[in-house]
Structure 1
């Protein structure tokens, strides 16, 4: 069988690996317009902050590794057009400029995402940078030593981490976002307030609830104009979201309103010979039971593997996602899974929530620190919809427990009684997840 794969960051890389592992006799060609693949962009801020031992280790695969499995690697080849009915591709060699036509039996669309770059005056100025791929990372890493002032636009994970690392390096940092809080889509106010205090304590100016209206380049200085203020710096870094890179398939495949390609539980699109995965496609979001767009590497990896398992015939169903994630900022662990209260409201769902704060282990120990834990549930069914934790202690694995609870449609009553170990080095007789569920039960019984 002849397989064509378009794009090889995470979903495409894992799809190629799985297809050739399961079907070593298949004819698999990978088209990638860049000169690299499998770059872990989540490590950009860590590299800028000198926490990466070797940047080459930020790639977990390579063209050579996929070729060794049997893939025909067409690096620096851009797919210009696709006809899913005729099952043909028009491909351009980015080095020679030569264009050729190729055919396939089945197509894997793993074209990823693109930065959302609105038509703002001056956004193409020399002082405005992106933070998306390997070449962006190299540029920011090389710039970092000479930067004295930086404006970061976008307070999601990427912007939040980059702002933290630059501030720890002694830079004057302003973090701008149109949303009213840092990490607005990931955490409710109870937890985002805590990390905002850390930013302020480390000298970061928070310009939240401000919309960028223009950029102005004057010599080596870039000024970011918002609807509420002006911020001058050496560089501005645009980290304000991503969109599906699916223009090749407009009018050919069913899509969500944001142009993410719709797939079924076997990762097939509306054309059964075309599969899609990663940032180019939807996920099944278990907290809501609906399709959603959640561009995370974890989703891309699993979906890519599923394509490899289903490429011959529908075999393994997609389990969906809880969008589980975590971040460390200023020595604080923040981790979450599922919906926030605001996220539920945005999706038309009713949700209730409770937050507790307690020492993560007994106070008879010579040291302990607090963990803040938040739980979100459906007030009608008591089914858990989401949760989050915050602490100076590493409580990140709590997000995986919450993910499993949401995946299995557990209720607050069930989570309260889950058997979790007690050992004074690690936790209390009742783990904080048990306790937040008990607090949720108490609140639900009073309402």
Structure 2
């Protein structure tokens, strides 16, 4: 092992960044914009082969909507280095020494290790996919889809495997998006999920709409059952997945069970973690109790503006915002990340799925009393060609009428309507206030009353009735 790396010029600080994707490199890039190389040295470590790429785009690359892998890469290592960022690829940080302000890193290929000191540290270690401990889970033909390397490995398997049976384990965002990708490869797709309905980020009644639509697309849905093992053939490759009650033949298996914060380094260093295992930060994204350590991206917990509690939400939108905030603060400016309302959208073929705010069980967990309404409407004026159905569910706090959450399932034009609710939630609006929103209208774009506002009207009436 070599000694702590590098001498610094007089008055020059060193920023060390752990993680070369959205949060980490956004922080490094923003800090560099504000402080030049003579003032701030930036060293970044990335254990993989790629930097600054869209993990959210991997299902669409695998499914053929995006033709080239490199289209998902926003900035290459060479581009970062051209901006005076010392980016060290295929280098994994294995220890954070908080007391001596240094990190230990290992070259993934050679195994060589060295210490690098820091004045300021950014932890952007991301999240790790949930990989259940079960027999056969590491067999050839079983894939996760967290990184570009994962996506390439899956494409290679699809190219060389003659069978056309695929099983997706997990019915969340990753699961439904990968189901579409595999359909695009002409596979027979089965989705196995321990929840009764897919998309557990929705309430079960809305998840049921998703299941019905997916079955209409030819996807076999096996809900309310957990995979217990992966079965292999004589060649050692996957041949099926098994639950307690059934077996589902498979030539390829994709794990889409979700992710957890990758905070093993932080835990070992004694940094504060929340109930979900993510790092805890203040609004400036500074790790609580540590003046010179920041954290952002999928490894942190964030404030839910609706419930007032900390949540773990792994989304690239948040990670990039965290990085901007961190880089601004490291660079001598001031910025904060106030929190989230939990907005997310997804699709499977032509089915669009959206949610923001709280589900029913979320509201109950934090002790809120609420009313719910569900409305059926269309994306355009009913008489205009191409109008497609959508279902909108809305939660409002009883008596106050404060909007608590919205879920939408429909076809073209459905998902992005959730942004109306996301803005209303952030502003703390009531459902009655929402009914007066001056939204754009023309028959090709919406009915006279937008579906979200129809739900707000019905929710207003129900809240008023609860007060009588």
Is it true that 1:415 corresponds to 2:450 in the alignment? no
In 2 relative to 1, CA 90–169 (structure 1 residues): closer, same or farther, beyond 3 Å?
closer
> Displacement of 1:213 after TM fit?
1.5
The answer to whether residue 120 in structure 2 is matched with residue 101 in structure 1 is no
Aligned counterpart, 2:6: none
- Structural mapping, 1:371-386, within 5 Å: 371-386=390-405
Assess if the C-alpha contact under 8 Å between 2:34 and 2:331 holds in 1: no
> Following TM superposition, by how much is the alpha carbon of 1:69 offset from its aligned partner in structure 2, in angstroms?
1.7
Give a deviation string over 1:330-373, Cα, whole Å, max 9, x none: 21222221122233334544332211112333333344222321
Deviates more, 1:240-249 or 1:212-221: 212-221
Q: Could you say which residue in structure 2 is the equivalent of 1:297?
A: 316
Is residue 29 of structure 2 the alignment partner of residue 10 of structure 1? no
Is 2:243 the counterpart of 1:226?
yes
The number of residue pairs the alignment matches comes to 446
| Bigger mean CA deviation after superposition, 78-87 or 214-223 | 214-223
Q: Could you list the runs of 5+ residues in structure 2 that have no partner in the other structure? A: 1-12
Worse overlay, 129-138 or 218-227: 218-227
Question: Hey, what does 2:199 align to over in structure 1?
Answer: 183
User: What residue is the counterpart of 1:235 in the other structure?
Assistant: 252
Query: Structure 1-normalised TM-score?
Result: 0.95
Q: Displacement of 1:314 after TM fit?
A: 7.1
Residues 317 and 198 of structure 1, relative CA distance in 2, 3 Å threshold: same
1:17-416 maps to which residues of 2 (within 5 A)? 17-25=29-37, 26-145=40-159, 146=161, 147-185=163-201, 187-219=202-234, 220-250=237-267, 251-270=269-288, 271-312=290-331, 315-416=334-435
Q: Which moved more, 1:105-114 or 1:424-433?
A: 424-433
Q: 1:343 to 1:181 in 2, by over 3 A?
A: farther
Instruction: Tell me the distance in 1 between the aligned counterparts of 2:437 and 2:47.
Output: 48
- Calculate the aligned-residue CA RMSD, in Å: 1.7
- Which structure 1 residue ranges, 5 or more long, are not aligned? none
Post-superposition offset of 1:121: 2.1
Query: In 2, are the aligned partners of 1:190 and 1:355 still within 8 Å (CA)?
Result: no
Structure 2: distance between partners of 1:200 and 1:317: 44
Query: Is the Cα–Cα contact under 8 Å of residues 172 and 204 in structure 1 kept in the other structure?
Result: yes
Say if 1:266 and 1:314, in contact at 8 Å, map to a contact too: no
> How far apart, in 1, do the equivalents of 2:273 and 2:333 lie?
21
In 1: Cα distance, 2:415 partner to 2:25 partner: 27
